[in-house]
Amino acid sequence: MADTTPFYITTAISYPNGKPHIGHAYEAIAADVIARFQRLQGRTVRFQTGTDEHGLKMARKAEEQGRSPRELADEMSGYFRSMCDALNISYDRFIRTSEPDHHKASQAIWQAMEAKGDLYLDRYEGWYSVRDEAYYDESELVEGEGEAKLSPQGTPVEWTVEESWFFRLSNYQQQLLDLLASPGFLEPASRRNEMIAFVEQGLRDLSVSRTSFDWGVKVPGSEGHVMYVWVDALTNYLTGLGYPGDMGNFWPASLHLIGKDIVRFHTIYWPAFLMSADLPVPQKVFGHGFLLNRGQKESKSLGNVTDPVALAERFGVDALRYFLIREVAFGQDGSYSPEAIVSRANGELGNAFGNLAQRTLGFIAKNLEGNLPAIHTHDATDTALFEAVDRALTQDIPQAFDNLALQQAVEAWLQAVFACNAYIDAQAPWTLRKTDPERMETVLATLYICIAQLAVAICPVIPASSSKLLDMMGVPEVLRTIDGIRSHWYSGLAESGYKIAAPTPLFPRLELPAEAD
């Protein structure tokens, strides 16, 4: 039986202290692929992304620029939203943590934690990294140049002393260990040991409010305190569902998709806040790897920061989406370069899949006046091809997507594309046209059906190209699901008198501009 339970997926919400970078695009695309795949399977999906606008990092950046944090957030959040729109990200809500419903939700979870007796007022004295918006224990710090102390992420830390509310994180040690040990909660499993070790060395209570600045959600009933930015940031996942009102049936979240640097916040702090507020914890947190530019971290000082929207404009949205999912083993770090994008796009999308469609549809348009060929009798080679494509469509691809093995899903698809190419070469419809026109028709019809199925199977990754192809082929929207495209739609379409026009190329050949070194 197909799983029809609701599926709630979220990305991290990004700090809008600058414009989006390729890592933000990567996370949004990966989440979108998963969301679209779940919809394809027939599940009701809710997908949330957005911007994380409070905290010292935002306040300081705004100050540097001589404007208010709100102005900075308004401008930069707009870039994140347009990046999502440009990359065809099918979010249901783009949340901004400066929105009133989010302040309300954050105050409600605060009050629930307070009612539990998990919050108390004290004084924080310790290290804080503004870049990570994180507190660090002295023992975690590493030596930087000179006398400088750095966070384990290599960011500067500053000594901080202020009155603060504390959350009794220490109360949740055992429950968190049990959660981290439960299979499937934190993936990839390789990230689990680090978190378990962190909890095992003993959890200290967490400072959850700040008094030295006011850009944040006000702590209810505590003049001068704003919430520690991660308390409100994590709560965004509830806000979007209507918390503290009825959240429907989307909570607990099916998947929080985040990068490897913020696993601690999502698998230790967040579940503890939820346990304290008597809310269920998310089903899964997946910490993906980092994307590197030719193996190097992007940074302003190296001058290698890439604007993802410009990249999509240069190579095409679907080529970029396909490349990122195909190239990187999901969960590990990956690297990109213009040459690598061009090579995958031309080789796999253009030559393997695009040409298959072009040859088949073009042949029908030209030689059959666009009339869909009739199926006469299928032979064993046709059946073998149908079976290979069906296995990819119903087993290999969905299983890989379900396991978040996104790269493997694309590989399984590509194998099925190769099988179609081997079939067309072996059957040679251009020869059959003279020797056996009936067989030619059957071969073309077989390919037509398989190509439509392959278009549906890959639509989570290249949604626009997939729709364009299915539109050209006259496949109605209602059939564009795994079940729909396996039904016997072909003869109906052929008999309806549908005519195919000469196809326009799906994946224009990409060239590397001379300036790409």
Q: Does 57 bind ligand ME8 (CB under 6 A)?
A: no
Of the residues 76, 179, 258, 275, which one makes contact with ligand ME8 according to CB under 6 A: 258
Phi, psi dihedrals of residue 167, rounded to the nearest 5°: -105, 135
Task: Compare residues 135 and 507 and give the one whose CB is closer to ligand ME8.
Answer: 135
Contact between residue 131 and residue 18 where contact means Cβ atoms under 8 Å apart: no
Options 19-27, 69-77, 338-346, 395-403: segment touching ligand ME8 (CB under 6 A): 19-27
Options 84-92, 180-188, 212-220, 258-266: segment touching ligand ME8 (CB under 6 A): 258-266
Of the residues 7, 8, 9, 13, which one makes contact with ligand ME8 according to CB under 6 A: 13
Q: Does 27 bind ligand ME8 (CB under 6 A)?
A: yes
Pick out residues in 232-251 that bind ligand ME8 (CB under 6 A).
233-234, 236
- Residues in the interface with ligand ME8 (CB under 6 A) total 18
Q: Which amino acid is at 302?
A: L
d(CA 342, CA 133): 37
Q: Which two tokens stand for residue 185?
A: 């909660």
**Least Cβ distance, residue 23 to ligand ME8 (angstroms):** 2
Task: Compare residues 234 and 445 and give the one whose CB is closer to ligand ME8.
Answer: 234
d(CA 452, CA 473): 8
Q: One symbol per residue from 291 to 310: x for binding ligand ME8 (CB under 6 A), - otherwise; what is it? A: x-------------------
d(CA 112, CA 279): 10
Handedness of CA 74, 79, 84, 85 (dihedral sign): positive
Contact between residue 412 and residue 397 where contact means Cβ atoms under 8 Å apart: yes
3-state DSSP call for residue 250? coil
127 bridge partner residues: 136, 159
Q: One symbol per residue from 61 to 80: x for binding ligand ME8 (CB under 6 A), - otherwise; what is it? A: --------------------
3-state DSSP call for residue 150? strand
d(CA 369, CA 443): 17
Element (DSSP H or E) covering residue 117: none
Angle of the 56-64 helix axis to the 69-86 helix axis, nearest 10: 100
**Least Cβ distance, residue 254 to ligand ME8 (angstroms):** 16
Peptide bond into 244 cis (omega under 30): yes
Pick out residues in 100-129 that bind ligand ME8 (CB under 6 A).
none
Q: Does 14 bind ligand ME8 (CB under 6 A)?
A: yes
Q: Which amino acid is at 423?
A: Y
**Least Cβ distance, residue 382 to ligand ME8 (angstroms):** 44
Q: Does 290 bind ligand ME8 (CB under 6 A)?
A: yes
For tokens 């930087």, the residue is 144
**Least Cβ distance, residue 14 to ligand ME8 (angstroms):** 4
Handedness of CA 408, 83, 7, 42 (dihedral sign): negative
Task: Compare residues 163 and 307 and give the one whose CB is closer to ligand ME8.
Answer: 307
Nearest Cα residue to 283 out of 262, 256, 261: 256
Options 194-202, 257-265, 346-354, 450-458: segment touching ligand ME8 (CB under 6 A): 257-265
Options 21-29, 354-362, 382-390, 498-506: segment touching ligand ME8 (CB under 6 A): 21-29
Of the residues 92, 261, 327, 436, which one makes contact with ligand ME8 according to CB under 6 A: 261
By DSSP bridging, strand 209-210 and strand 226-227 are: antiparallel
Q: Does 35 bind ligand ME8 (CB under 6 A)?
A: no
d(CA 113, CA 20): 33
Q: Does 15 bind ligand ME8 (CB under 6 A)?
A: yes
Options 157-165, 176-184, 254-262, 338-346: segment touching ligand ME8 (CB under 6 A): 254-262
Q: Which two tokens stand for residue 189?
A: 């499993």
d(CA 508, CA 346): 8
Options 9-17, 199-207, 446-454, 477-485: segment touching ligand ME8 (CB under 6 A): 9-17
CA dihedral angle for residue 17, residue 10, residue 485, residue 370, rounded to 10 degrees: -10
Task: Compare residues 321 and 359 and give the one whose CB is closer to ligand ME8.
Answer: 321
Contact between residue 28 and residue 49 where contact means Cβ atoms under 8 Å apart: yes
Contact between residue 9 and residue 257 where contact means Cβ atoms under 8 Å apart: yes
Q: Does 26 bind ligand ME8 (CB under 6 A)?
A: yes
Q: Which amino acid is at 505?
A: P
d(CA 206, CA 270): 12
Task: Compare residues 334 and 429 and give the one whose CB is closer to ligand ME8.
Answer: 334
**Least Cβ distance, residue 234 to ligand ME8 (angstroms):** 5
Q: One symbol per residue from 164 to 183: x for binding ligand ME8 (CB under 6 A), - otherwise; what is it? A: --------------------
How far apart, in Å, are the Cα atoms of 127 and each of 46, 208, 227, 487?
38, 14, 17, 61
Options 85-93, 230-238, 305-313, 408-416: segment touching ligand ME8 (CB under 6 A): 230-238
Of the residues 262, 349, 454, 485, which one makes contact with ligand ME8 according to CB under 6 A: 262
Options 7-15, 36-44, 219-227, 321-329: segment touching ligand ME8 (CB under 6 A): 7-15
Task: Compare residues 89 and 392 and give the one whose CB is closer to ligand ME8.
Answer: 89
502 bridge partner residues: none
Task: Compare residues 203 and 262 and give the one whose CB is closer to ligand ME8.
Answer: 262
**Least Cβ distance, residue 213 to ligand ME8 (angstroms):** 17
DSSP-derived letter for residue 17 is S
Footprint of ligand ME8 (CB under 6 A): 12-15, 23-24, 26-27, 52, 233-234, 236, 258-259, 261-262, 290-291
